[in-house]
Chains A and B, each alone.
Chain A
């Protein structure tokens, strides 16, 4: 069982918006930055959001991140079929790195 809690799955139609939540505690999310990754099993994960709400170059502004207290949220607007993947939140807790359990996004 992951320390960071994410919904197992979310779904929405093409063009719609979806949000993925990540819940932690005061010692992890509450005291550290959160990053988000897109992953298709067997391929390299891809950084979408870092430091809670920053996008690396090349990541479209359809992807956004936010953090409040001990929770973080990834938002994806204008859903495309290519967005179908697993999404993970990550944060640090002292010397350990914590991953959320992952959320499978289905574009209907």
Chain B
């Protein structure tokens, strides 16, 4: 069964750092592009970042560029999001999503992990 399980969400102070993980199982992780999407309280889903199957290409939303880094460890079947210089407005549930090669849609999503940035 295909599963994506996010973890690492926590309460952190503004300016702090946090690393999120997304553990994949039930499929060949190294064949898929992976994305992070977030939802702030009371707001809609917003795309954050993506990485290609071998980790050589990444893209970021302007709101996180220069502060967040997406990377992956295909040997551990895990996707990561390193978040630095966190702001109050980064408070959100963060979801990881799988996109097939050559596809333009999210085939599978995780349940999300909550990041709260507050003093």
List residues of chain A with CB under 8 Å of any chain B CB.
2, 32-33, 35, 37, 39, 41-47, 50-51, 56, 86, 88, 90-92, 95-102
Q: Which of A35, A39, A98 contacts B105 (CB 8 A)?
A: A35
Q: How far is the CB of A4 from chain B (nearest CB, A)?
A: 10
With a cutoff of 8 Å between Cβ atoms, the chain B residues found around residue A32 in the complex are 104
> Could you tell me the dominant secondary structure of chain B's interface residues?
strand
Q: Is the CB of B104 within 8 A of A41?
A: no
Q: Is the CB of A33 within 8 A of B104?
A: yes
> Could you tell me the dominant secondary structure of chain A's interface residues?
strand
Q: How far is the CB of A51 from chain B (nearest CB, A)?
A: 7
Q: Is the CB of A47 within 8 A of B107?
A: yes
Q: How far is the CB of A43 from chain B (nearest CB, A)?
A: 6
Q: How far is the CA of A36 from the CA of B101 in the complex (A)?
A: 19
Q: How far is the CB of A94 from chain B (nearest CB, A)?
A: 9
Q: Is the CB of B106 within 8 A of A90?
A: yes
Give the residue name and chain of the A residue nearest to B50 (CB): A97
Binds A, one of B11-19, B41-49, B75-83: B41-49
Given known A-B contacts A41-B39, A44-B112, A45-B95, A96 and B106 have beta carbons under 8 A apart = no
Given known A-B contacts A44-B110, A50-B105, A91-B104, A99 and B95 have beta carbons under 8 A apart = no
* B61-108, CB < 8 A from A: 61, 93, 95, 97, 103-107
With a cutoff of 8 Å between Cβ atoms, the chain B residues found around residue A33 in the complex are 104-105
Per-position 1/0 for B28-54, Cβ under 8 A of A: 000000010101000011110010000
With a cutoff of 8 Å between Cβ atoms, the chain B residues found around residue A41 in the complex are 39, 93
User: Which residue, of A32, A41, A43, A44, has the highest number of chain B Cβ atoms within 10 A?
Assistant: A44
Q: Is the CB of A44 within 8 A of B95?
A: yes
Q: How far is the CB of A67 from chain B (nearest CB, A)?
A: 12
